[in-house]
Structure 1
């Protein structure tokens, strides 16, 4: 048996660093592949993208190198990008596809509310930081108030919020054939009905798993999460 690839998609304003504890805990039957949005992490020199179509096109190019079907774990914003990618690949016969989508720390698209009546690209830095706080991912005051880090962080969040905005405006009704597992911390802001509603985004099986913690529960629950993921991904037989 060959290990199953697990594509990891990070949250708004973040990078693949969020998955450090999970990657360390995954068994040999799962191969983690951390993707980062342009403009952060190893891709910090690249210009940011501001539409979900640009992000998914980048992901499609990345997954074109895969030689087998794979699973996706998307955290927060990454959950929406994962759904958009899985639905896109379902429409492209003959290629690899996502067989299991783990949608972490986000409300089902059909229940999501747009935080801005207009594009987030037009929002002020203060408005951007306030939405981040309300979403459970508040930015430390030392970063917000720093003369260089504050504006830089706001620009990254502004671009990422635009990804969510364009996804919800254009692809809210996206459906994948992949099995879908919703993951969430018990102290996160999402009520149960907004999590179970993820079932409407798949024609496959749906399951909800919760873990102690808040929006970034996976930093403390790496081992438990790794065990659950490995149990739900079947290695490909040669």
Structure 2
């Protein structure tokens, strides 16, 4: 049994065997580890992909969400320590990028080795206003928010039963962002790549460039066609980027 401080669960999406780079992926608001199974055909044999299942959904249904994003990150760091997982690359999209950032900080506080690199996708830098682009809470506003983001099919948005299941988790996730307080600290000693969509009005270029302040290693910016969910519409390009970045990790270099 995991210690009380642990949070979430690791889900193995694909396994490329000993010596292959290990990527840890964190889902976006309202999402789950399940969404990363669509990436498996693009990554099989090239890297091992682990996805974090966050509390309250999927395999962690019923597990309470920690009171804050910082508490969640600390609990996820405990989960990695308990499982003995040392990723070469951390990847998060939208809320997942913010969680990944604070997870890296939590790992550093615990004295754990950090991944060589991180890919922060579809999220403004944490030093920027946290509530930028967030909707008002309430069913009508959250459904319109999902519609505006463009990642949810109309068949879902028009299905009241499905929406009733989705919205509590989405609102819980968005409340994590709204309650997040960024604390300035020393930059992370890693390489960091930011990725964005050309048509994503909720994540301006200035917000992506702000990630440069959070690392001492190499910083790069990759822009892709599409809106907020370019991470799915441009999945092939994003998978290739994951493979490229993960291959720079120490495990891959030693193989």
TM-score, structure 2 normalization: 0.78
Aligned to 2:243, what secondary structure does the other structure show? helix
Q: CA deviation at 1:221?
A: 2.4
Q: How large is the RMSD of aligned CA atoms in angstroms? A: 2.8
| Residue of structure 2 in register with 1:90 after alignment | 108
Q: CA deviation at 1:140?
A: 5.3
State how many pairs are aligned.
Answer: 231
1:212 to 210, 225, 235: 225
| Residue of structure 2 in register with 1:75 after alignment | 93
* Pairs within 5 Å for 1:211-230: 211-230=224-243
| Residue of structure 2 in register with 1:42 after alignment | 59
Aligned to 1:209, what secondary structure does the other structure show? strand
Assess if the C-alpha contact under 8 Å between 2:26 and 2:99 holds in 1. Answer: yes
> In 2, Cα distance between the equivalents of 1:137 and 1:61?
34
| Residue of structure 2 in register with 1:54 after alignment | 71
Matched, 1:173 2:191: no
> In 2, Cα distance between the equivalents of 1:112 and 1:144?
28
CA spacing shift, 1:11–1:164, aligned 2, 3 Å: same
Q: CA deviation at 1:215?
A: 1.5
Matched, 1:123 2:154: no
CA spacing shift, 1:188–1:147, aligned 2, 3 Å: closer
Assess if the C-alpha contact under 8 Å between 1:8 and 1:33 holds in 2. Answer: yes
CA spacing shift, 1:141–1:61, aligned 2, 3 Å: same
Aligned to 2:24, what secondary structure does the other structure show? strand
Unaligned runs of 5+ in 2: 1-17
| Residue of structure 2 in register with 1:103 after alignment | 120
Aligned to 1:208, what secondary structure does the other structure show? strand
TM-score, structure 1 normalization: 0.82
CA spacing shift, 1:125–1:115, aligned 2, 3 Å: farther
Unaligned runs of 5+ in 1: none
